[in-house]
């Protein structure tokens, strides 16, 4: 698979734009729930946040692999 820098830039730009859209959905449609979520995240232990981040990374990589390899 050989892609150029311009294609990589377009793909990463599109991925980041989609990330921003997804991140904005909860605060836009239900700001009270977003505030509650932020309060709960602020009160969580660092180890819980790390595990949550790790699980998110693994799930994202798995989903990316599934999308790329059909």
In the numeric block, which tokens belong to residue 26?
């909860």
pLDDT at residue number 70? 77
Q: Is the pLDDT of residue 24 over 70?
A: yes
Hey, where are the domains in the chain? 5-69
Q: Categorize the per-residue pLDDT at 68 as very low, low, confident or very high, splitting at 50, 70 and 90.
A: confident
Q: Does 7 or 45 have the greater pLDDT score?
A: 45
Q: Per-residue DSSP letters for 11-38?
A: HHHHHHHHHHHHHHHHHHH-HHHHHHHH
0.75 surpassed by pTM = no
Nearest to 13 by CA among 5, 23, 1: 5
First-residue to last-residue Cα distance in the chain: 15
Q: What is the pLDDT of residues 34-58, one digit of tens each?
A: 999 999 999 999 999 999 999 999 9
Distance CA 32, CA 37 (A): 9
């Amino acid at each position: 698979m050989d892609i150029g820098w311009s294609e990589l830039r377009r793909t990463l730009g599109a991925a980041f734009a989609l990330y921003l859209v997804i991140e904005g959905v909860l605060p836009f449609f239900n700001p009270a729930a977003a505030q509650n979520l932020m309060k709960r995240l602020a009160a969580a232990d660092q180890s819980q946040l790390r595990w949550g981040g790790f699980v998110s990374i693994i799930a994202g990589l798995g989903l990316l692999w599934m999308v790329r390899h059909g």
